[in-house]
Amino acid sequence: MLPYKNYSEKLKLIKEGKLSLVENVKYFLTQIEVKKNLNAFNFAFHDESIASARIIEEKIRNGKYGSLAGLVIAVKDVLSIKNKPTTCSSNILKDFNSIYTASAIQKLLDEDAIIIGKTNCDEFAMGSSNENSAFGNVLNPVDITRVPGGSSGGSAAAVAADLCDVSLGTDTGGSIRQPASFCGVYGLKPTYGRVSRFGLTAFASSFDTIGPFAKNVEDMALVLEVLSGLDELDSTSSNLPVPSFSKDLNLDKKIRIGIAKEYFGEGISLEVKNSIDSIITMLKENNFEIIDISLPHTEYTIAAYYILTTAEASSNLARYDGARYGFRAKQTSNLLDMYKQSRSDGFGKEVKRRIMLGTYVLSSGYYDAYYLKAQKVRRLIKNDFDNAFKTVDLILTPTSPFTAFRIGEKTSDPLEMYLSDIFTTSANLAGIPGISIPVGKNSEGLPIGMQLLADQFNEAELLKMSYFIQNKIF
């Protein structure tokens, strides 16, 4: 058990000499070893993280240290760190070492955070269960017969199992929020453009975002504050000012909360629904205005999402040709054969499925019917949210229609797996921020997550509302 609840308590203990940062890092490293069966980490950085702990502890003692000094962070293995492997949990990158550090990670290091290792995930972040990893699947720490969610399954499991303080994941269609809900932790997907994507291996560039998993809202706010902001290395990063999210987490105005009927229809488990309903009741009792709204194009989100992201992925993943980056097939007879064999042997099944789908929807003759149409639907979905945010400040939904499913339960039916993203993909289509908050457990003890969505760049209100709910229910 950790002797602190959040980072500010941790820092206080270190300052008072009641907690040794070196021992704290060693504790996490031991836990990673003890809970190896979870398979949450692709790599742990033993010596370096202990060495950093020594230096940072000294800095804290001398009173000159960064805003995340001593916070122990694990990062998803799709983010680059100079001279470290970045595998994206794929065989095609298994021997690849990064030549630069992702801006998001550099910002954490600049504030004296300690990067303890890289976490397992679905191959190239494609999946909802972490079963598409060349490193094997990750187990859910709450119930090891179940998936942790995906694609950032290792990052969610690492936080839930106390293998680190905080972790970074990426969210292209729900990969932070859904695993957070399955593992019972907090997960935040920022507005598209809030956090620089430089150094993040691209899956679907107009959807990809980087965000934190944490055990509490305070740590999530603190880390988001550091991650956010303009970066000249990513032309899509926003130059809007970054509020000091962590400084003021108390609500300062009456929040209007929208409930979209499309998110409470068929297919949602009764226990999930009841749990969300009880939060809505609690909010009503606390005088929040609850407003029924409609997001009429919700039924098209999965189709639009899987057309557009596979199209972008087919283009982004063209670079893995056997000539550059990690893996190359041996004994091929000519160049074309080398390309084909390297891609056939290097990519896993799901990644190949998506490249084929994406190539298909972009091919001449089908482009207008699929890709272009889906782009138009994307606009309509964004319009739905723009309209909704004229009358409400936040939208409340379940994060997932169900709790963590069993390992193997959905692997034979890709469509069934895709449908598990039904409540999360809309935020990525619209580019808006979203949070998953743990709000309860079902009768089997499995965590239930609730999602809050806000208008673009309104992470501050998302965090404040989450803080209010956290303090009410824990």
Specify the amino acid at residue 466.
Answer: S
Q: At 454, list the tokens.
A: 């806000």
Candidates 52, 89, 129, 151; catalytic one: 151
Q: Judged by CB, which is closer to ligand GLN: 147, or 272? A: 147
Catalytic annotation present for 76: yes
Residues 98-157 that bind ligand GLN (CB under 6 A): 125-128, 151
Taking CA atoms, 126 is separated from 130, 133, 309, 311, 414, in Å, by: 9, 9, 10, 13, 11
Residues 329-388 that bind ligand GLN (CB under 6 A): none
Residues 192-251 that bind ligand GLN (CB under 6 A): 203
* 3-state class percentages of the chain: helix first, strand second, coil last, to nearest 5: 40, 15, 40
Q: Judged by CB, which is closer to ligand GLN: 125, or 160? A: 125
Q: Judged by CB, which is closer to ligand GLN: 38, or 417? A: 417
Q: Judged by CB, which is closer to ligand GLN: 126, or 311? A: 126
Site string for ligand GLN, 386-425 (x = CB under 6 A): -----------------------------------x----
The answer to whether 49 touches 25, Cβ cutoff 8 Å, is yes
Number of residues that bind ligand GLN (CB under 6 A): 14
Nearest to 354 by CA among 143, 183, 173, 176: 173
The answer to whether 157 touches 143, Cβ cutoff 8 Å, is no
- Burial (Cβ within 10 Å: 0-12, 13-18, ≥19) of residue 253: exposed
Residues 42-101 that bind ligand GLN (CB under 6 A): none
Q: Judged by CB, which is closer to ligand GLN: 237, or 310? A: 310
Cα of 34 vs its chain's centroid, Å: 25
Q: Judged by CB, which is closer to ligand GLN: 88, or 469? A: 88
Q: Judged by CB, which is closer to ligand GLN: 126, or 439? A: 126
Q: Give the nearest distance from C-beta 41 to ligand GLN in angstroms.
A: 19
What's the CA gap between 424 and 445, in Å, rounded?
A: 23
CA dihedral 36, 38, 41, 44 (to 10 degrees): -20
Candidates 10, 49, 52, 76; catalytic one: 76
Which residue's CB atom is positioned nearest to ligand GLN? 175
Stretch that binds ligand GLN, among 169-177, 324-332, 361-369, 466-474 (CB under 6 A): 169-177
Catalytic annotation present for 20: no
Q: Give the nearest distance from C-beta 305 to ligand GLN in angstroms.
A: 7
Q: Give the nearest distance from C-beta 347 to ligand GLN in angstroms.
A: 15
Q: Give the nearest distance from C-beta 408 to ligand GLN in angstroms.
A: 17
For the residues of 96-128, what is the DSSP string, one character each?
-B-SS--HHHHHHHHTT-EEEEEE--SGGG--S
Query: Of 57, 77, 171, 459, which one interacts with ligand GLN (CB under 6 A)?
Result: 171
Residue with tokens 């993943």: 317
Residues 273-312 that bind ligand GLN (CB under 6 A): 309
Residues 173-192 that bind ligand GLN (CB under 6 A): 173-175
Q: Give the nearest distance from C-beta 175 to ligand GLN in angstroms.
A: 3
- Burial (Cβ within 10 Å: 0-12, 13-18, ≥19) of residue 48: middle
Catalytic annotation present for 84: no
Candidates 89, 129, 175, 237; catalytic one: 175
Q: At 189, give phi and psi (nearest 5°).
A: -100, 115
Q: Under the phi-then-psi rule, with left for phi > 0, alpha for psi from -120 to 50, and beta for the rest, what region is 265? A: beta
Nearest to 104 by CA among 200, 241, 177: 200
Task: List the catalytic residues.
Answer: 76, 151, 175
**Contact positions vs ligand GLN (CB under 6 A):** 125-128, 151, 170-175, 203, 309, 421
